[in-house]
Structure 1
């Protein structure tokens, strides 16, 4: 008992009350964040929509996420953290209630796009508020706890959602809307505005996004991260359709997703011990190989135990990929351009949320189990990409470090992924830099 208590005091001690209200809101939000996860099953089972059109409707959510990330970032700095959080959650709650009663497929797709906007908007505000109120020395602890809450909530949501979906899809959407509303109430009631009145967004060098968009080394890494995101997004988009085709229930799908979340909650904090001292591009190549093998094995899956075993393999790959992915992104960004580099990097996740279901739905419909072999082949190409681009990327990082003034903080000291991004599981660091997903991830 003393050991557990000492661990908790060391991990969570000294964090301000505002952080805990934000943390509580995130946890409640995530426990209720399951409706979009089951949207493919809802469309195919209740609305009798084909896989290709279902993929387009679900992909609209990803398109909305792209706009939501950008809009949320602007509002966070210009309108305020608290307002952005409150109104985005209120909007998401109302939109989700609308999806519960919508019957037309076009209307559902439009609402899905708007929900994608509302779900992605809070991400930069959550991170900015935590950075505002938590001292620099304790931010790594705060983000570790936030990452833990995100995945614990996701695991719980997956298990609950399977049961709700069996009973009523209407209840599924309404409970989701209620959880989102609870988060809005907590933030409006207990979280003050943390944005300094003197804050300005015009500081720093000019040039817009030109520098990151012409940085070939960085763009190669972003491209490989996009492939990784497309792989992991299979779980929330194409996988439920594949399991349904094999005659498995919604609760079975919920169990597969819950297994992944439980593994991350239980094991992510131990990952740094496994990969510390190893070259990052090799870790990413190995992690991507596990993802490719895990998803490719679904070509042979037709029973729940096989799906669970495959989920175990790809989840381990996601866990290993998280820390180096976040660290490399931070290392490649020049200190004065970190915001611009982050913006380009994190757009890969909502983009993957659009591409994965849009292409994957059609692929599953016309290729059947061959879809999973194609996914595995794409993953193996990404493995080769990491092995080829890794050494020059690491030489670039070494040059950046060599030119950094003595005493300057490392890039990972203040760069984190937005909390709850529709990101796919496993693409968020669970160490000092935390959180992919991009949450999707949601909220």
Structure 2
């Protein structure tokens, strides 16, 4: 089997040669996602257990989503300031406390506040985890390691509703205790296995931005916004998420209007999940060394084209073919799109670059369903044509906003472990 020094980007070689902190992140996020119950069961909990109205429950879920977007932005800054390890610990300990509080706070205003805090604090870890994956992985393996990371998240997220349903059958309180324990498990992983940032590197993050003085860097996120090409990429992330979410917002309405049962919609969604989980690593093995811009553009062609395909007549066959097309977009473009912020970021702003990308994807995921349902009610099946046009805009933004550099450009990973404790891949 290849070692970490031969440059192999095979799936197993990438996993095997990854340093201990990277493996710990993969395990930690999987365990954390196994306990991802709150967003799935919040509406049911608030209506059946707390006795709130449907509108109140839906509002609370929306506030949770808004808090999550804000948390991604804060998490990126926190990662740059205190280091990824500390950011993950703050996120997971805070999430455990706020999730438990939801089960016991007595009034609706208190529930809303705690839900917002849980949504925000619970997302601090994501920019930190992605930043650490970037720092500790050689550039030629970053796309593959993000594909593995996505697989860990998808597996955990797929299993979570089934585990949650079993816990709810016993007690609603057990559901929140389970999510808190999953968060604490990730916190323990961070304490034990994630590296501390050296004081010299903390000072670099605080005092330097790509060779600029603190006065010149504009306070972090302003420096990100001054990178106009990266801003175009951020718009790519927003469009990608906004039109991708239509498979949950508009697709079930369209299939119902065509007289197809809920079973058919469930089958189409299950088809997407099965292909992503079983095929994404294999596809990433092929495309990981392609230029990131090329991969993103291909992804938008397939995403916009697959959704636009739904506008054609033809019954269930059209829905299956369209789903296959945009699923191919997901497994081709997903790992590269989420690895790209680490490729584009100056090291002192890595957390903010990653956090802003995740936040724009989260914002698109939150607004996309509202926009899609409004368009469906206004123009019917033409909404899919609009999705195709939005995909074309994404192609242009990717072309002008992303670097031509290939994902496989060699660049040493940043070592943020104490000098006396080399990573396994460095001592092999």
Write out per-residue CA displacement over residues 212-231 of structure 1, whole angstroms, 9 at most, x where no aligned residue: 53555543442242122123
Give 1:267 deviation, angstroms. Answer: 0.9
Is 1:380 aligned with 2:388?
yes
| SS across alignment from 2:200 | coil
Is 1:49 aligned with 2:53?
yes
What are the ranges of 5 or more consecutive residues in structure 1 without an aligned counterpart?
1-6, 402-408, 416-443
**How many angstroms apart in 1 are the aligned matches of 2:27 and 2:296?**
36
Equivalent residue, structure 1, for 2:117? 114
- TM-score, normalization by structure 1: 0.67
Give 1:271 deviation, angstroms. Answer: 2.7
Equivalent residue, structure 1, for 2:333? 321
Is 1:24 aligned with 2:27?
yes
- Could you say what the CA RMSD is over the residues aligned between the two structures, in angstroms? 4.8
Write out per-residue CA displacement over residues 67-94 of structure 1, whole angstroms, 9 at most, x where no aligned residue: 3223323333433433332232121112
Alignment of 1:204-353 (within 5 A): 204=209, 205=212, 206-208=216-218, 209-210=221-222, 212-213=224-225, 217-233=229-245, 260-272=272-284, 273=286, 276=290, 279-280=294-295, 282-290=297-305, 292-293=307-308, 314-323=326-335, 325-326=337-338, 341-353=353-365
Write out per-residue CA displacement over residues 4-33 of structure 1, whole angstroms, 9 at most, x where no aligned residue: xxx775232233334333332221111111
Is 1:10 aligned with 2:38?
no
**How many angstroms apart in 1 are the aligned matches of 2:162 and 2:319?**
16
**How many angstroms apart in 2 are the aligned matches of 1:177 and 1:371?**
44
Give 1:195 deviation, angstroms. Answer: 0.8
Give 1:143 deviation, angstroms. Answer: 4.0
Alignment of 1:36-75 (within 5 A): 36-43=39-46, 47=51, 49-50=53-54, 54-75=57-78
How many pairs does the alignment contain? 387
Q: 1:412 to 1:174 in 2, by over 3 A?
A: farther
Is 1:160 aligned with 2:185?
no
Give 1:169 deviation, angstroms. Answer: 4.9
**Which deviates further from its counterpart, 25-34 or 341-350?**
341-350
Equivalent residue, structure 2, for 1:83? 86
Give 1:312 deviation, angstroms. Answer: 5.4
Give 1:322 deviation, angstroms. Answer: 1.6
**How many angstroms apart in 2 are the aligned matches of 1:222 and 1:108?**
32
Query: Is contact 1:62-1:353 (8 Å) kept?
Result: no
**How many angstroms apart in 2 are the aligned matches of 1:286 and 1:310?**
12
**How many angstroms apart in 1 are the aligned matches of 2:53 and 2:345?**
44
Query: Is contact 2:64-2:116 (8 Å) kept?
Result: yes
**How many angstroms apart in 2 are the aligned matches of 1:146 and 1:156?**
16
Query: Is contact 2:300-2:395 (8 Å) kept?
Result: yes
Equivalent residue, structure 2, for 1:194? 196
Query: Is contact 2:96-2:180 (8 Å) kept?
Result: yes
**How many angstroms apart in 2 are the aligned matches of 1:101 and 1:306?**
47
Equivalent residue, structure 2, for 1:203? 208
**Which deviates further from its counterpart, 312-321 or 86-95?**
312-321
Give 1:124 deviation, angstroms. Answer: 2.9
| SS across alignment from 1:207 | coil
Give 1:266 deviation, angstroms. Answer: 0.8
Write out per-residue CA displacement over residues 415-438 of structure 1, whole angstroms, 9 at most, x where no aligned residue: 9xxxxxxxxxxxxxxxxxxxxxxx
Q: 1:392 to 1:68 in 2, by over 3 A?
A: closer
Q: 1:367 to 1:83 in 2, by over 3 A?
A: closer
**How many angstroms apart in 2 are the aligned matches of 1:230 and 1:292?**
12
| SS across alignment from 1:262 | helix
**How many angstroms apart in 1 are the aligned matches of 2:412 and 2:61?**
36
**How many angstroms apart in 1 are the aligned matches of 2:23 and 2:339?**
26
Query: Is contact 1:161-1:254 (8 Å) kept?
Result: no
**Which deviates further from its counterpart, 367-376 or 192-201?**
367-376
Query: Is contact 1:37-1:237 (8 Å) kept?
Result: no
- Greater C-alpha Rg: 2
**How many angstroms apart in 1 are the aligned matches of 2:251 and 2:180?**
24
**How many angstroms apart in 1 are the aligned matches of 2:126 and 2:137?**
17
Q: 1:170 to 1:261 in 2, by over 3 A?
A: farther
Write out per-residue CA displacement over residues 363-404 of structure 1, whole angstroms, 9 at most, x where no aligned residue: 75x88877984753542231231355555557xx45xx6xxx
Write out per-residue CA displacement over residues 335-372 of structure 1, whole angstroms, 9 at most, x where no aligned residue: 88766654543320232344346x36xx75x8887798
Candidates 175, 183, 194, aligned match of 1:180: 183
Give 1:283 deviation, angstroms. Answer: 1.1
Give 1:175 deviation, angstroms. Answer: 2.2
